[in-house]
Chains A and B, each alone.
Chain A
Amino acid sequence: MKCEWVRQNITLHVYGELADDARYELEQHVARCGDCAAELKAEQDFLALLSQERAAEPSPNLLAASRMKLQEALETAEQGRFWTRLAFDPANWLRQVKFSPALASAILILGFAGGVGTAYRVFDHPPLVAGVTTSAGPAVAAGPAEASITGIQSITQEPGSNQIAIKYNTVSTLETQGSLNDQRIQQLLLYAARNNYNSGVRMDSVDLLTQKPDLSAVRDTLIYSLQYDTNPGVRLKALDGLGPFVKNDVHVRDAMLQALVNDSNPGVRIEALRMIEPVKADGSVRGVLMALSAKDSSQYIKSQARTMLAQLPEID
């Protein structure tokens, strides 16, 4: 164990940031090396000296004044409009891609190979002619015989109208517009909810789909999003859309119970617990509540499950 390695890691050791094995090695070395032991003591004394001069604490008056001033400012402040969630954030996207070389490679393949083997065919009927514009310029009379979708770029709903505009990519970016009753729009929304890399686009597609939960394909997609979407905000949105069907649709109920038991986000679990309240008397729901009340890691969920069980009549 070299002294040089020890000296480079002494600061991390004093702050408790070393991994257990490295910490052990360092402590073993320091026990044998007088110079390094002295260096460790010097570092500890120095950081203790800095801590003598504690960071200034804000006075209660300053905190109270700051809160009041903020409250006044909030009265006139406006939140960003919903379309800010649609804005493509290149910096955030680049950060994700930087740490996901596999994702970066996959996107390149999609872009240059034209989606062969990875594109999702949406339209197997006549080409999109009406209402289609391309990024190449004025609307063209006819597009390709069949369209292969490589990604959904954005979803926009005109405020106060039922018109939805969706930009989607094939080899070039296209756009189509229509109402939520338009089958093309529905197909694109279903695609976006399952396949888009941008969580904001998935969020917006799920949000719009919750307005059409009667369609079985929509409900299946909402269940899919609840079970598999990586973003907890999207999962919460899907949960919202499925809520009215928990009484009559056993698949919805099962999906909610799964979310309640397995979701990694505590907020999603809490919301799922709230959603199954109307069906707490159901046998499968009762069984899950009993398991949660006995040994869930969250005290809140445990106590809520107990409360719900206490409201049920005893089973004879």
Chain B
Amino acid sequence: MAGQERRIDDTILIREAQRGDRAAFEELVRHYDQAVLRLALHLTGTEQDAQDVYQDAFLKAYKNIGSFRFECSFYTWIYRIVTNLCLDHLRKRNVRKEDAPVVKDGNGGEYDLLDQVADVRAGANPERDLMRRQLGARISGALEKLTPRERMVFELKHYHGLKLRTVGEILHTTEETAKNTLFRATQKLRGQLADMR
């Protein structure tokens, strides 16, 4: 029921925005911008890049809202814009590996230098924090080894909980292709992280 009410709101807001009502567009942005920013942050890895993707995505949506024809939900439409921007970002980053702000430790694992600053707060558990950081670094490293498309499907499914049918719509592919991509991604990740179980 909440989903249906949301679609009613969106339809009315989209029509108002198409008539040039900026406030209506801003209201529409507020319905989805947290999820968009979260996706951008997780895929780009930095707040600056995430903010750039957020800005580009919603500006693009604003400029093209006139050509939105209600053939899909606004949710799918904005996610398509964001995923395309994030895929471009991932592909550029794959080419420019030297830009990655990470350091290798003695075992070949990678970590962010800032994570090595000691936590001196009362109640801090340095050993647990170190294990968490190592786990996080290993997972980030394994995700980096997926292809941009595999990473995107995995992110949308695992961290955003979207149905694979929706993932397929967002990425302009079929549900079946999304399923196969997810299977490949999880198999690769299990291979990378087999020793952590």
Contact = CB atoms under 8 A, between A and B. Distances in A.
Interface of A: 8, 11-12, 15, 17, 42-43, 45-47, 49-58, 62-63, 65-67, 69-71, 73-74, 77-82, 84-85, 87, 95, 199-200, 203, 231-233, 236, 265-268, 270, 297-300
Given A49-B193, A49-B197, A66-B54, A300 B8 contact: yes
Contacts of A231: 69-71
Contacts of B62: 74, 77, 79
A58 B37 CA distance: 7
Question: In the complex, which of the residues B10, B69, B132 has the most CB atoms of chain A within 10 Å of its own CB atom?
Answer: B69
Main secondary structure of the interface of B (DSSP, over half): helix
Given A17-B179, A67-B33, A79-B62, A85 B136 contact: no
B164 A270 contact: no
Contacts of A46: 186, 189-190, 193, 197
Given A49-B193, A77-B63, A80-B63, A267 B135 contact: no
Interface of B: 1, 4-5, 7-8, 10-12, 15, 20, 22, 25-26, 29-30, 33-34, 37-38, 41-42, 47, 50-51, 54-55, 58-59, 62-71, 132, 135-136, 139, 155, 157-160, 163-164, 172, 179, 182-183, 186, 189-190, 193, 196-197
Main secondary structure of the interface of A (DSSP, over half): helix
B179 A265 contact: no
Contacts of A53: 132, 135-136, 139
Contacts of A67: 29-30, 33
B64 A84 contact: yes
Contacts of B42: 55-56
B38 A11 contact: no
Nearest to A75: B22
Given A58-B37, A70-B55, A267-B8, 11 more contacts: A15-B182, A47-B158, A66-B55, A79-B63, A85-B66, A233-B68, A266-B7, A270-B8, A297-B1, A298-B4, A300-B5
Contacts of A54: 159
Nearest to A200: B69
Nearest to B136: A53
Given A53-B139, A266-B7, A298-B4, A62 B197 contact: no
